C-alpha cells in the first residue's frame, strides 16, 4: 500500500544487553562443532538476570522519547509491542512500558506475537493509527529475550534486545513510502503455552517459510512502489542467522554494499521481534538525506512485513542526535557458558 | 523514685536446635523470677520484646503467650522496635512503674532465628529499614555505607574495624553464655569473605537464638538501679539523615541520660553497646562520648576499649561474639551489666541498643547504690 | 517466596517515570547498593549487576526487574542505578 500523506519515523531508540556469549563457548560446552561458524554468528547478547522484554522495551523507548520534544511523549496515543517473550501470557507488556515512560492514559495498546515479525507488525499498526488520524503519535517496539533449548541449533543464535520507533505525520525524519504484508499458515516454528522452548521444523524453515514469504513481500512492495533493487541505498532482511539474508539478498538482486549495516546478527545474534527493528535503527545511524531503505521482516508461522523508507530532507540535520546509537551499545562483556545457563534459567 | 533490677537471667545464645521460641521465653522468664527470689505471683505485668516471630513463625500476640505461663495471667504487652525491641520493652516497663500503676514487673526479650534459612533472615532483618525508600538493601549494605562514610571522612582503616571484632571475640571467651568461643586475629577478620564492601563476614553479628529477662521493681532495694534511661529517634532511611558519620539518635539519648543522672561518659566503667557490625561499635563509642568523633577506630585498634584501657566495651562479647537474638539483645545488655554491678565487678555501667541503621537508640545508665 | 500484592505494585508504578533516565552522583557505594543524589534529593538504590560504582561516579536510573520473579506472582520492576558511560 503506497502512502500518500507524510507519515514516518519521528525518532528511534535501541537497547542491547551488555552481556554476550561467544558461539565458540556454546560449542565447547555442548562438545559439538561450532554451528555458529556455519550460520555466520560469532556471538549473541544475553539478558542479565534483571532484564526482560519489558525492561528492554522501556530503555529503547526512553531513548527514542528523549530525542524528541516534550509534546511528543504526551501525545503518544498508540503503543504496540511485538515479542515472543512477553513477561506475561495474560497482562500486557505495553502497560508496564507506558507506566515507566509516563505516557498519557489515552492509549491504544496491545501486545503482539508473530514470531520475529511481531515488531514490524507493531510498527505497521502504529503507522496506520497515525495515518488515519486515530493517534497523533505512535510508539512501536520490537523486543525479545529469545529462548532456545540447550543443545539445539537455536542456542547458537537466540539473542536479546530491541528497538523502538516513534511515528507521526508532523515532519518525520524518515518517510514511509510504501508498506505491505503477507501471511500464510506455514508451521516452521512454534511454542505451546506450557513449553519453555520453541520447536522448529529444521530445513522446512528455509525455502517454504523464510524464503517464500520474504520473497513474496519483497516482490509485492517493489511492484507497488515502482522500484527495483538498484534504487535502494540500503536493504534489510530478517536475520535468523547471517546465511539466510545474504542468500536471499543475492537471489533478489541486492548487493553486499546495500547490506552493509544489516548484519548485526554476527555479533548480537537473532533478536527475534527486535531483529528487523534493530537492523533499521542501525541503518538509520549511518544513512543520510534522501537515502532509500528496503526493510523486509519475516515471522515464523509464517508472514512477512515490507517497508520502503526514505530519509527526509533535514534527516542529516537531526542526525547529530543519532550518532551510532546501536553500535555504542554492543558490549564487550563475554560470559561463560555456566553463567549463561544460570541467566537463561530465570 | 528509683527503679531497681531485682533479678536477671540470660539463656545460652547460639543455634539452639532443641529450643523453640516458647521454650526460650519460658526459661528466661522463670529463671529471672527465681534469681530475684520472688514467687511468680509477684509479677504484676509482663513486657515481651520480640521483632521477628510474626514474620518467621506467624506468631504474634506474644504478650498473651508469656502471660499464660503464669497461673494468675498478668497483663502483658508485646513491644517491637526492630533490634531495639529489648530496651524499648524496658523503657515501657519503667513508665508503668514510675506511674505507680505497678510495682514489680517482668521484662523478657527473645528471638528464635535459626529455624529458617539465612535468606529468610536477611529479608526479615531488612524490614528494620525503610522498605520502600531502601528497597533491595540488606543490613550489611546499609552499615557498609556508614562504614564507607566514616572511612572517607576520618581515615578509619580496615584494621580498626577488625580490631573491634577481635576484641569482642576475646571478651566472649570468658562468657559461657556467648555463641562463639573462638579467638581471631586481625588477619582472620581482614581475610573473611566480603559481604558488602567494606564489611566482611567477621564484621557482622550472627543469626542467634536466645532470650533474656529482668525483674524490675519500684520498691526500695539494694539491687542495681536504673540511674537514667532515654530513647531517641532519627529518620528511618539513611538518605534522610543529616549526618552519615554519627548516629544522632545515640548522641541525643546519651546526652539525655548524662543530664538526667549527672553521670558523665568518663564515669562509665563498662558498656554494652550495639555492635551489630564493627562500624556500629566505632560509631557508638564516639557518639556516647567515650572517644572524640573520628577517633573510635584508633581507640579500638590501640586497646582503649578493653581491659587495661580507658573503658571496657562489650565485656559479654557484644552482639558480634555473644550473639544477637534481635528481640533479646536490649534486655540481655541490661541483664549483663546489672549482673556485673550486683557482683560488685563495676559500679556504673551503660547499655546502648539500636534499632535499624540508627533510627532508634535507647541508652540506659545502671549503677550500684551510689 | 511471596510475590508483591497488586495494590502495592500499582502504587509503585506511579513513581517509575520520576526517576527513569535521571542522572545523579553517587555519594556512597557498597556491593550492589548506593546512596545517590539526583536533582538535590537523595535516594538509596540497587545497582545494576556488574557495575562497581564509587563515590563521585555519575550514574543513570534504568528500568530493571527488582527481584527474581516467582512462578506465578506479579513481576516486580523498578529503577536501579547504572554507571553512566562518558
CB-based contact, C77 to chain A, within 8 Å: yes
pLDDT for A80 equals 98
Q: Is the pLDDT of residue B97 over 90?
A: yes
Contact B281/B321 with Cβ under 8 angstroms?
A: no
Helix (H) or strand (E) run with residue A62 in it: helix A53-66
Find the distance separating the first CA and the last CA of chain B, reported in whole Å: 14
pLDDT surpasses 80 at A321: no
pLDDT tops 80 at residue B369: no
Give the 3-state secondary structure of residue B106: strand
Element (H, E) at B9: strand B3-10
Helix (H) or strand (E) holding B212: strand B210-217
Q: b/e map of C9-45 (b: 16 or more CB within 10 Å)?
A: eeebeeebbebbbbebebbbbbbbbbbbebeeebbbb
Asked if the model's pLDDT at residue B292 lies above 60, the reply is yes
Reply yes or no on whether the pLDDT at A30 is more than 80: yes
Q: What angle do CA C1, B119, B88 make, to 5 degrees?
A: 105
DSSP string for A74-87? HTEEEEEEE-S--S
Distance CA(B205)–CA(B285), nearest Å, equals 17
Grid coordinates representing B296 are: 573510635
A314 sits in the region (left: phi over 0; alpha: psi -120 to 50; else beta) called left
Per-domain boundaries in chain A: 8-171+321-344, 175-316
Instruction: Specify the pLDDT at position A122.
Output: 98
**Which residues 53-72 in chain A show a CB within 8 A of chain C?**
54-55, 58-59, 62, 66
Contacts of residue B208, Cβ cutoff 8 Å, sequence gap at least 6? B13, B14, B15, B111, B113, B114, B179, B323, B324, B325
B152 by Cβ neighbours in 10 Å (0-12 / 13-18 / 19+) ranks as: middle
- The three cell numbers of residue C31 are 556491593
For the stretch B297-344, pLDDT in tens is: 999 999 999 999 999 999 999 999 999 999 999 999 999 999 999 999
Q: Any idea how long chain B is?
A: 370
Residues 6+ apart with CB under 8 A from A135: A76, A77, A78, A108, A126, A129
Q: How far is CA A332 from CA A258, A303, B175, C3, in A?
A: 27, 34, 54, 34
Q: End-to-end CA distance of chain C, in Å? A: 39
pLDDT reported for residue A1: 58
φ/ψ (deg, to 5) at A50:
-105, 20
Please tell me the distance from the alpha carbon of residue B50 to that of residue B57, in angstroms, as a whole number.
12
Closest-CA residue to A93 (of A46, A147, A139, A158):
A139
Looking at chain B, list the stretches that DSSP marks H as alpha helix, in order from N- to C-terminal side: 21-35, 53-57, 62-67, 85-98, 118-126, 139-154, 158-172, 186-190, 248-261, 278-287, 296-301, 318-321, 326-342
Kindly state the cell numbers that stand for B261: 543522672
Chains within contact range of chain C (3+ C-beta pairs < 8 Å): A, B
Taking the C-alpha atoms of residue B243 and residue B47, their distance in angstroms, rounded to an integer, is: 33
Class of domain A175-316: alpha beta
Chains B and A touch (3+ CB pairs under 8 A): no
CATH for A8-171+321-344 is 3.40.47.10
pLDDT of residue A322 exceeding 80, the answer is no
C58 touches chain A (CB under 8 A): no
Catalytic residue flag (residue B83): yes
Per-position DSSP letters for B304-360, written without gaps between them = TTSTTSS-EE-TT-HHHHT---HHHHHHHHHHHHHHHHHTTS-SEEEEEEEETTTTE
| Domains of chain B in sequence order | 3-117+207-217 (3.40.47.10)
- In chain A, which residue's Cα lies nearest the Cα of C46? A50
> What is the rounded (10 degree) CA torsion for B27, B29, B30, B34?
120
Digit-coded pLDDT (tens) for B173-213:
999 999 999 999 999 999 999 999 999 999 999 999 999 99
% of chain A residues with pLDDT over 90: 83
Cα dihedral A208, A210, A215, A221 sign: positive
> Could you tell me which chains touch chain A, where touching means 3 or more CB pairs under 8 A?
C
Residues 72-91, chain A, touching C (beta carbon < 8 A):
87-88
What is the chain C residue with the closest CA to A49? C68
Measured between CA atoms, how close is C31 to chain A, in angstroms?
Answer: 16
- How many other CB atoms are there within 10 angstroms of residue A190's CB atom? 13
pLDDT at B88 over 70: yes
Residue B239 has its nearest CB partner, among C12, C42, C78, at C42
Mutate to test the interface with B, among C12, C30, C43, C81 (most CBs of B within 10 A): C30
Checking if the pLDDT of A320 tops 70, the result is: no
pLDDT of residue B1: 82
Q: What is the CA radius of gyration of chain B?
A: 19
Strand segments (E) across chain A: 8-15, 19-22, 43-46, 76-82, 108-112, 137-145, 160-168, 174-183, 189-190, 199-200, 234-237, 292-296, 303-311, 333-334
Helix (H) or strand (E) holding A100: helix A93-101
Give pLDDT, residue A47. Answer: 96
* DSSP letter (8 states) at residue C41: E
Task: Spell out the domain ranges in chain C.
Answer: 6-83
Q: How many CB pairs under 8 A join A and C?
A: 57
Residue A3 has pLDDT above 70, yes or no: no
**Per-residue pLDDT for A132 more than 80?**
yes
pLDDT per 10-residue tile (average), chain C, 86 residues? 84 95 98 96 95 96 94 95 88
Give CA angle at A39 (A36, A43), nearest 5°. 40
- Return the DSSP state at B194: E
Q: Check CB contact of C14 with chain A, cutoff 8 Å.
A: yes
Single out the residue of A193, A172, A170, A202 nearest to residue A113, CA to CA.
A193
Residue B259 vs residues A77, A235, B256, B264, B362: alpha-carbon distances, Å? 65, 82, 5, 8, 15
Is B276 a known active-site residue?
A: no
Beta carbons of A290 and A311 less than 8 angstroms apart? yes
**Which pLDDT does position B370 carry in this prediction?**
52
* Virtual torsion, Cα B58, B60, B62, B64, nearest 10 deg: -120
SS3 letters across B227-263: EEEEEEECCCCHHHCCCCCCCHHHHHHHHHHHHHHCC
Axis crossing angle, helix A275-286 with helix A118-132, rounded to the nearest 10: 70
Contact at CB, B148 and C28, closer than 8 angstroms: yes
Is C20:C79 a contact under the CB 8 Å cutoff?
Answer: yes
> Is the Cα dihedral A154, A159, A160, A166 positive or negative?
negative
> pLDDT tens for residues A7-17?
999 999 999 99
**Does A38 contact chain C (CB < 8 Å)?**
no
Q: What is the pLDDT of residues A211-259, one digit of tens each?
A: 999 999 999 999 999 999 999 999 999 999 999 999 999 999 999 999 9
| Class of residue B236 by CB neighbours under 10 A (exposed 0-12, middle 13-18, buried 19+) | buried
- Name the DSSP class of A206: I
At A25, give phi and psi (nearest 5°). -70, -35
Say whether C63 and A55 touch across the interface (CB within 8 A). Answer: yes
Instruction: Single out the catalytic residue among B171, B324, B352, B364.
Output: B324
How are strands ordered across the β-sheet holding C41-46?
Answer: C41-46, C33-38, C23-30, C58-65, C77-83
For residue C82, give the 3-state DSSP assignment.
strand
Indicate whether A329 pLDDT > 60. yes
Fold annotation for C6-83: OB fold (Dihydrolipoamide Acetyltransferase, E2P) (2.40.50)
| Averaged pLDDT score across all residues of chain B | 96
Helix/strand/coil for A297 = coil
Cell 549482673 identifies what position? Answer: B339
Distance (Å, whole) CA C53 – CA A2: 51
The alpha-helical segments, DSSP class H, found in C1-86 are: 6-19
> B338-364, pLDDT tens digit by residue?
999 999 999 999 999 999 999 999 999
pTM for the model stands at: 0.89
Q: Which helix (H) or strand (E) holds A101?
A: helix A93-101
Q: What is the C-alpha to C-alpha distance for residues B145 and B247, in angstroms, rounded to an integer?
A: 13
Q: Which helix (H) or strand (E) holds A223?
A: helix A212-225
Positions of A marked catalytic? 84, 116, 238
Mutate to test the interface with C, among A15, A47, A99 (most CBs of C within 10 A): A99
Residue C39: what pLDDT?
97
Judged against a pLDDT cut of 60, whether residue B139 lies above it is answered with yes
The answer, yes or no, to whether residue A317 has pLDDT greater than 90, is no
Q: Which of A56, A323, A71 is nearest to A164 (CA)?
A: A56
Amino acid at each position: 500500500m503506497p502512502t500518500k500523506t507524510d507519515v514516518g519515523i519521528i525518532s528511534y531508540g535501541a537497547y542491547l544487553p551488555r552481556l554476550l556469549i561467544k558461539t565458540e563457548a556454546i560449542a565447547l560446552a555442548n562438545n559439538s562443532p561450532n554451528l555458529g561458524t556455519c550460520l555466520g554468528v560469532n556471538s549473541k547478547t544475553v539478558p542479565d538476570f534483571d532484564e526482560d522484554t519489558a525492561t528492554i522495551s522501556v530503555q529503547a523507548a526512553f531513548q527514542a522519547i528523549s530525542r524528541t520534544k516534550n509534546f511528543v511523549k504526551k501525545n503518544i496515543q498508540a503503543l504496540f509491542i511485538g515479542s515472543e517473550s512477553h513477561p506475561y501470557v495474560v497482562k500486557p507488556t505495553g502497560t508496564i512500558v507506558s507506566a515507566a515512560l509516563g505516557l498519557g492514559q489515552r492509549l491504544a495498546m496491545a501486545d503482539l506475537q508473530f514470531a520475529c515479525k511481531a515488531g514490524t507488525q507493531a510498527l505497521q499498526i502504529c503507522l496506520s493509527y497515525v495515518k488515519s488520524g486515530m493517534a497523533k503519535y505512535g510508539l512501536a517496539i520490537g523486543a525479545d529475550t529469545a529462548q532456545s533449548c540447550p543443545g539445539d541449533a537455536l542456542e547458537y543464535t537466540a539473542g536479546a534486545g530491541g528497538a523502538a520507533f516513534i511515528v507521526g505525520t508532523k515532519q518525520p525524519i524518515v518517510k514511509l513510502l510504501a508498506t505491505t504484508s503477507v501471511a500464510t499458515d506455514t508451521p516452521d516454528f512454534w511454542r505451546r503455552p506450557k513449553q519453555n522452548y520453541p520447536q522448529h521444523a529444521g530445513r522446512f524453515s528455509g525455502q517454504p517459510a523464510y524464503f517464500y514469504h520474504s520473497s513474496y513481500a519483497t516482490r509485492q512492495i517493489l511492484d507497488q512502489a515502482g522500484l527495483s533493487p538498484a534504487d535502494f541505498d540500503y536493504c534489510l532482511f530478517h536475520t535468523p542467522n547471517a546465511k539466510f539474508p545474504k542468500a536471499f539478498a543475492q537471489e533478489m538482486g541486492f548487493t553486499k554494499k546495500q547490506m552493509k549495516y544489516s548484519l548485526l546478527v554476527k555479533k548480537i545474534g537473532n533478536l527475534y521481534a527486535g531483529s528487523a527493528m534493530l537492523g533499521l535503527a542501525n541503518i538509520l545511524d549511518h544513512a543520510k538525506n534522501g537515502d532509500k531503505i528496503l526493510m523486509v521482516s519475516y515471522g515464523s508461522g509464517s508472514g512477512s512485513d515490507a517497508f520502503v523508507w526514505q530519509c527526509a530532507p533535514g534527516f542529516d540535520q537531526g542526525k547529530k542526535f543519532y550518532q551510532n546509537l546501536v553500535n555504542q551499545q554492543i558490549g564487550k562483556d563475554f560470559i561463560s557458558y555456566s553463567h549463561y545457563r544460570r541467566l537463561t534459567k530465570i | 523514685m528509683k527503679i531497681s533490677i531485682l533479678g536477671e537471667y540470660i539463656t545460652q545464645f547460639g543455634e539452639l536446635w532443641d529450643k523453640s521460641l516458647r521454650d526460650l521465653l519460658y526459661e528466661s522468664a522463670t529463671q529471672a523470677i527465681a534469681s530475684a527470689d520472688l514467687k511468680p505471683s509477684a509479677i504484676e505485668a509482663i513486657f515481651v520484646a520480640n521483632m521477628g516471630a510474626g514474620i518467621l513463625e506467624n506468631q504474634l500476640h506474644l504478650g498473651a503467650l508469656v502471660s499464660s505461663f503464669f497461673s494468675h495471667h498478668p497483663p502483658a504487652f508485646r513491644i517491637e522496635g526492630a533490634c531495639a525491641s529489648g530496651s524499648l520493652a524496658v523503657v515501657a516497663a519503667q513508665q508503668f512503674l514510675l506511674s505507680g500503676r505497678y510495682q514489680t514487673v517482668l521484662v523478657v526479650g527473645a528471638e528464635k532465628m535459626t529455624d529458617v534459612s539465612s535468606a529468610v533472615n536477611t529479608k526479615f532483618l531488612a524490614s528494620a529499614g525503610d522498605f520502600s525508600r531502601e528497597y533491595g538493601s540488606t543490613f550489611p549494605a546499609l552499615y557498609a555505607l556508614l562504614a564507607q562514610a566514616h572511612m572517607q571522612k576520618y581515615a578509619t582503616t580496615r584494621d580498626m574495624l577488625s580490631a573491634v571484632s577481635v576484641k569482642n571475640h576475646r571478651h566472649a571467651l570468658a562468657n559461657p553464655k556467648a555463641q562463639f568461643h573462638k579467638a581471631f586475629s586481625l588477619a582472620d577478620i581482614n581475610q573473611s569473605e566480603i559481604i558488602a564492601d567494606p564489611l566482611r563476614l567477621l564484621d557482622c553479628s550472627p543469626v542467634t537464638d536466645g532470650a533474656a529477662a529482668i525483674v524490675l521493681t519500684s520498691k526500695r532495694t539494694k539491687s542495681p538501679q536504673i540511674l537514667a534511661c532515654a530513647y531517641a529517634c532519627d529518620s528511618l532511611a539513611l538518605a534522610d539523615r543529616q549526618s552519615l558519620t554519627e548516629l544522632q539518635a545515640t548522641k541525643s539519648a546519651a546526652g539525655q541520660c548524662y543530664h538526667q543522672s549527672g553521670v558523665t561518659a568518663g564515669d562509665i566503667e563498662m558498656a554494652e553497646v550495639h555492635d551489630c557490625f564493627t562500624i556500629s561499635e566505632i560509631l557508638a563509642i564516639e557518639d556516647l562520648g567515650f572517644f572524640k568523633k573520628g577517633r573510635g577506630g584508633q581507640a579500638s585498634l590501640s586497646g582503649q576499649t578493653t581491659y587495661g584501657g580507658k573503658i571496657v566495651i562489650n565485656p559479654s562479647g557484644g552482639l558480634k561474639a555473644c550473639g544477637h537474638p534481635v528481640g533479646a539483645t536490649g534486655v540481655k545488655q541490661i541483664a549483663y551489666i546489672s549482673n556485673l554491678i550486683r557482683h560488685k565487678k563495676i559500679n556504673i555501667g551503660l547499655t546502648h541498643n539500636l534499632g535499624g541503621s540508627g533510627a532508634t537508640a535507647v541508652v540506659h545508665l545502671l549503677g550500684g547504690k551510689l | 517466596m511471596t510475590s508483591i500484592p497488586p495494590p502495592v505494585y500499582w502504587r509503585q508504578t506511579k513513581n517509575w517515570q520520576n526517576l527513569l533516565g535521571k542522572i545523579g552522583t553517587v555519594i556512597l557505594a557498597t556491593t550492589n547498593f548506593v546512596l545517590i543524589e539526583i536533582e538535590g534529593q537523595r535516594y538509596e538504590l540497587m545497582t545494576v549487576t556488574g557495575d562497581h560504582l564509587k563515590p563521585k561516579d555519575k550514574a543513570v536510573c534504568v528500568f530493571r526487574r527488582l527481584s527474581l520473579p516467582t512462578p506465578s506472582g506479579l513481576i516486580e520492576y523498578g529503577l536501579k542505578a547504572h554507571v553512566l558511560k562518558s
